[in-house]
Every structure is written in C-alpha cells, then in structure tokens.
C-alpha cells in the first residue's frame, strides 16, 4: 500500500468517526476523487466555501482567503491537471470537472457549500451549480469566462507554444518573472506564485482546457438557479472578452456585479483588500 493510499484510508476513517476537525490547518492534503488524487487545503470554521482556480493556476491563488474571509471554512481545491493534483491524460471537459468537484465534496463530507470560481474555474463552478443546485448555497464568478461564449483560444495557448514558453521560463526565472509582471502587473511574491504554479501545470491539460473553453456550451440552466450569485471583474481585464458580464447578466438577471478599478484578471492577487472585501460581504449576506 502506498503512503497516499494509507493516508487516504486514515483520513476517511477519521471523518467517519467525527475526527476531521473543521479548523484543520495542516497544509496541503490529498483525497481520492473518482480514482484521481485531489490536492487541497482547508482552513477555518463556519459555513463551507469552495474556491476553484482558473487556467494554469492552482489553490495557491487563494492563499489569503482564510485571513480575509475569517467566518467561513475555506476549501481551496486543485483541479486535476493543475497544481498538486493528479494529471491524467484525458477528462478535460466541463462535465468531467463538474463530476470531480461534486466527488470532492462527497469525499471530504461537505453536503452544501458556496462555490466561487475564477476565470476557467468560473465556468466549472457555474456548470457544477447547474448540475447540482442543491449542493450550493451561493455562486461567485470572478473574471469568469463561460465556455463557448469566450473567443477561441489564443495562439499562445497551443501546446507547442506553451512548451516553448515554459522551457524558456525555466531557463531564466528573471525572464519568467518579467513576463508575468508585464502581463498581469503583479510582481514580488504574488508574481512568483503565478510563475511557480504555471510550471506545475500539465501542458497537455492546459491545451485541452483551452479547447474546452471554446466549445459551444448550453448555459441556459443558469436562468433557473435560485441561489444568490455575484460576478466580480477587474475593470482592466484583458483576458476575458468585453461583454462577458453582459452575457452572464442576460442569463442571470438577478446576479449582483462588482468592478474593481485599476485591476486586471487576477483581483485576488492584484487587489486583495478590495476583492476579498466584496466577496466577504456577499458571503455574509448570503450565508445559510
């Protein structure tokens, strides 16, 4: 038996005995979800909130969430193909990710949560909420791009181009950091998070997710969602098509909206004070 399988069985047994403390802060944990190893972090106590990262990203993007949203139990999950989760050769579809997210909640014993997704993770969060609305008490879409509504993947998302860029970034960390700062205006420790987590991503997975985001997708189910919802965008986001918020608003007329000035695609890293203030207020107003 591997160390992972042993740890997983111990963790499962502890949950069944009520020994899985809501405030557990022991760092990165692993659980088996649909046969795949899922890496996550959990911190805090209170109503459950599940955070879903975007393309080429990971749970580390949410590293300030627990301090900024102190009255909730925060779960930050690595989608498969990214971060510290397993990187299978296939399954990169919204259906697959939705099944993974619901399976994760089952595995850790969470019956109902708020779900907040960033960028591609916003599409995963929205698709999952449509498929299992009874599992969620609120929905947050952060600089979200809904599959099939956004433009086709840009040329730099093609697998050969990404491989070349990542080799170049590995050769010169300073060049990689300069590229990140130039694209997102984020330097220092936050910029290093972007670069380090991009290096962890499976290039094939990232390319397949780019294709996933260009496929026509039926989002009409958003019209029937009854849970409180909010969309938050950086006013200067250059990665998500202008008008995406209007498309989402047309599907969800009651959704709240907030725009953060002088902010691009990564508000949790660029403007954490303002971003988490908005999210915390929304969750407090929506808490079950």
Q: What is the pLDDT of residue 6?
A: 45
Q: What is the pLDDT of residue 5?
A: 47
Q: What is the pLDDT of residue 172?
A: 55
Q: What is the pLDDT of residue 211?
A: 86
- Residue given tokens 């209170």 in the structure block: 46
Q: What is the pLDDT of residue 149?
A: 77
Edge-to-edge strand order for the sheet containing 113-118?
A: 29-33, 36-43, 73-77, 48-52, 113-118, 136-142, 229-234, 256-260
Q: Where are the domains of the chain?
A: 3-151+217-286
Q: What is the pLDDT of residue 177?
A: 61
- Helix-strand-coil split of the chain, %, nearest 5: 45, 15, 35
Q: What is the pLDDT of residue 170?
A: 60
Give the H/E segment covering residue 234: strand 229-234
Q: What is the pLDDT of residue 188?
A: 77
Instruction: For residue range 206-225, list pLDDT tens digits in order.
Output: 888 988 988 889 999 999 99
Indicate the CATH number for domain 3-151+217-286: 3.40.50.1820
Q: Which residues of the chain have pLDDT under 50?
A: 1-8, 10-11, 13-26
Cβ-Cβ contacts under 8 Å for 276 (sequence gap 6 or more): 64, 65, 68, 69, 268
Q: What is the pLDDT of residue 2?
A: 47
Please report how many Cα atoms fall inside a 13 Å half-sphere around the Cα of residue 288, on the Cβ side.
16
**Nearest one of 109, 125, 138 to 281, comparing CA atoms:** 138
């Amino acid at each position: 038996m591997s160390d992972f399988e042993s740890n997983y069985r111990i963790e499962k047994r502890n949950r069944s005995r009520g020994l899985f403390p809501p405030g557990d802060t022991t760092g990165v944990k692993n659980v088996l979800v649909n046969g795949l190893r899922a890496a996550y972090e959990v911190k805090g106590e209170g109503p459950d909130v599940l955070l879903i990262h975007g393309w080429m990203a990971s749970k580390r993007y949410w590293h300030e969430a627990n301090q900024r949203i102190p009255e909730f139990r925060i779960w930050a999950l690595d989608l498969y193909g990214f971060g510290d989760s397993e990187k299978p050769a296939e399954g990169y579809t919204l259906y697959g990710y939705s099944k993974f997210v619901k399976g994760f909640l089952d595995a850790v014993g969470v019956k109902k949560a708020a779900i907040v997704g960033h960028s591609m993770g916003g599409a995963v969060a929205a698709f999952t909420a449509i498929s299992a609305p009874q599992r969620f008490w609120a929905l947050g879409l952060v600089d979200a791009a809904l599959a099939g509504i956004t433009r086709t993947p840009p040329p730099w998302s093609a697998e050969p181009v990404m491989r070349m860029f990542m080799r170049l970034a590995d050769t010169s960390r300073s060049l990689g950091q300069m590229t990140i700062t130039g694209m997102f205006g984020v330097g220092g420790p936050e910029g290093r998070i972007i670069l380090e987590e991009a290096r962890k991503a499976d290039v094939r997975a990232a390319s397949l997710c780019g294709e996933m985001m260009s496929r026509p997708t039926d989002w009409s189910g958003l019209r029937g969602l009854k849970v409180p919802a909010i969309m938050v965008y950086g006013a200067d986001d250059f990665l998500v098509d202008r008008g995406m918020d209007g498309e989402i608003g047309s599907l969800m007329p009651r959704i709240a909206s907030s725009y953060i000035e002088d902010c691009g695609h990564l508000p949790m890293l660029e403007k954490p004070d303002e971003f988490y203030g908005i999210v915390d207020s929304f969750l407090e107003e929506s808490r079950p």
